[in-house]
Amino acid sequence: MNESSVARGPATSPGDASGPNFRKRARFALALGAAAFALVFVITSGAGPGLDPDAMAYLGATTSLVQHGTLRVPSNQWDAPDSTSALTTWPPAFSIAMAVPRALGADPLLSARIVNALAAFVTAAVLFLLFESAAGTIAAIAGVLVVLVTTSFVGVHLSVLSEPLFLASLVLTLWAMVSALRRLPPRCIERRSCPRVAAPARDRAPPRYSPQSCRLPPAIPPPRLPAIGSRPLR
């Protein structure tokens, strides 16, 4: 195994759509995503997802956005002339996401269940792609199943909270970062593998990945201060 193959890392990449096993990986990712979607949709049925003051703000802002085009929550200071206030404490993306099914006719709680279930789908599917690229299919399936049954994962999907959407955004960001890193040439990861430039050093700037380009500028000498007592103070 040569040095460049070590720098490239594993052969499969989460964003590689041209590999021979892409269809198999896609089927596993979709299956685990569908299982996560069904799990969240089932555990929030019946009495519905949990509600708290944060949920009141999210649902109220969603209704306000659909009906009036503004993000306002149904609460305010006791002495305020208006019974609503702008959505400033909570992130607006969750309310904006719930506004889509709400505008299509779903009730507020069903809108929250749909968004949280879709977020769980994305989280499980992308986690499988990340795990599979690093440890293989069996380990990836086991890792995703462990995540799906953890108390913290189930707990945040039981209530109308923005954490499921945050988790989905987080794993998508990690997937994009890993995919971009896998596409970099080895010379961008290890400077010693960069090819040498044939031009004379006096006719060109130092190469980007050469040791010369990483030298720090010389330290600026501190200013010379007069010794105490060398001249009278005014």
Give pLDDT, residue 18.
Answer: 54
Name the 3-class secondary structure at 54.
helix
Give pLDDT, residue 80.
Answer: 63
pLDDT, greater one: 83 or 45: 45
132-146, 189-203, 214-228: lowest mean pLDDT where? 189-203
Distinct helix (H) and strand (E) counts, the chain: 8, 2
pLDDT, greater one: 56 or 209: 56
How many percent of the chain have pLDDT more than 70?
Answer: 65
Give pLDDT, residue 25.
Answer: 84
Residue 32 has pLDDT above 50, yes or no: yes
Instruction: For the beta carbon of residue 191, count every other beta carbon within 10 angstroms.
Output: 14
> In whole angstroms, what separates CA 198 from the centre of its chain?
42
Give pLDDT, residue 128.
Answer: 93
Q: Nearest to residue 128, comparing CAs of 21, 6, 40? A: 21
Q: With 0.85 as the threshold, say if the pTM is over it.
A: no
Phi-psi group of 122: left, alpha or beta (phi > 0 → left; psi -120 to 50 → alpha; rest → beta) = alpha
Q: How far is CA 157 from CA 6, 54, 90, 152, in A?
A: 40, 14, 17, 9
Residue 233 has pLDDT above 80, yes or no: no
The pLDDT tens digits for 107-165 are 888 998 999 999 999 999 999 999 988 888 899 999 999 998 888 888 888 888 889 99
User: pLDDT class for 170, splitting at 50, 70, 90?
Assistant: very high
Both structure tokens of 25 = 């990986």
Q: Residue ranges per domain, the chain?
A: 20-182
